[in-house]
Chains A and B, each alone.
Chain A
Amino acid sequence: MSSPGLQGLRPWIIQRVSAVYIALYIIYFSLLLFIDNPVTAQDWALWAAIPYNNIALGLFLIAVLWHAWIGVRDIVLDYVPNVVSRLVVLTIVGCTILGSGLWGFKALFMVAIK
């Protein structure tokens, strides 16, 4: 950010844009489950392999993880005053987020190429 007055505006916007996508996708997905439940293993994998659904799930994964990162980071900054503990906690949180993302994308990729 070039202007000091704009610091924190980017995460603020990302938090809200991701929130809207997450909310809409959860409502859409819940409605799907209400209509077609229970599903079989094959139905579920075939559904997730459809490019449209696969990409939407991937976007959902990014939105959730980014949203979670900003939210948890805010909580840590509020309640962990010590700089070193902050760094340690944020590193653990960041690794958890990145690891989960890689794992999720692996799952989405594997089901797409099957």
Chain B
Amino acid sequence: MAVSDNRPFFLNLFKIRLPVTGFVSIFHRISGLLMFLAIPFSIFLFDISLQGESGFNQAAGILQHPFIQLISLVLLWSIVHHLLAGIRFLFTDFDIGLEKRQATLFAWLVFAIEAILFVLLAMRIFL
């Protein structure tokens, strides 16, 4: 296969312009990694929350802290995006929505549902 020498080869991540489908993908990875990092602390909270009144209140108190609330918001987004993008990828496994226009539509659909779900859940949890 003939290969041209002047193909773009970007090592600078900021020069790579991703299509919307690419954002669904990379955010799936980022959100997954963020949730992995949160596992040990989440298990700690789960553990103490089950240890009677004092532990439960301690866990609730930690979750009230502004910095933890900020992290909770990021993790809420992570769950919502990871879940919706994951459902989209399961469709991909069954060869559904592979054609370019359909794939783009699916990607926008993920972001649209994600935005609505995120705002609704954030309001329910934090307000």
- Give Cα A100–Cα B47 distance, bound, in whole angstroms: 11
Select one of B36, B51, B79, B90 contacting A72, CB under 8 A. Answer: B36
A68 vs B33: C-alpha distance in the bound complex, in angstroms? 8
Contact residues of B between 33 and 49, Cβ < 8 Å to A: 33, 35-36, 39-40, 43-44, 46-47, 49
Partner of B46, one of A42, A97, A99, A104: A104
Q: Contacts A26-B79, A41-B53; is A71 near B36 (CB within 8 Å)?
A: yes
Q: Chain B's nearest CB lies how many Å from the CB of A37?
A: 9
Are B90 and A75 interface neighbours, CB within 8 A? no
Q: B71 near A: Cβ within 8 Å?
A: no
Asked whether B50 is an interface residue with its Cβ less than 8 Å from the other chain, the reply is yes
Q: Is the CB of A45 within 8 A of B32?
A: no
CB pair B90–A110 under 8 Å, yes or no, is no
**B-side contacts of A42, CB under 8 Å:** 53
Residues of the A chain whose Cβ atoms lie less than 8 Å from the Cβ of B19: none
Question: B93 near A34 (CB under 8 angstroms)?
Answer: no
Most central of A34, A48, A99, A100 by chain B CB within 10 Å:
A100
Q: Mark A40-80, 1 if CB is under 8 A from B, else 0.
A: 11101100100000000000000011001001100100000
The smallest C-beta distance from A14 to any residue of chain B, in angstroms, reads 14
Contacts of B124 in A (CB 8 A): 34
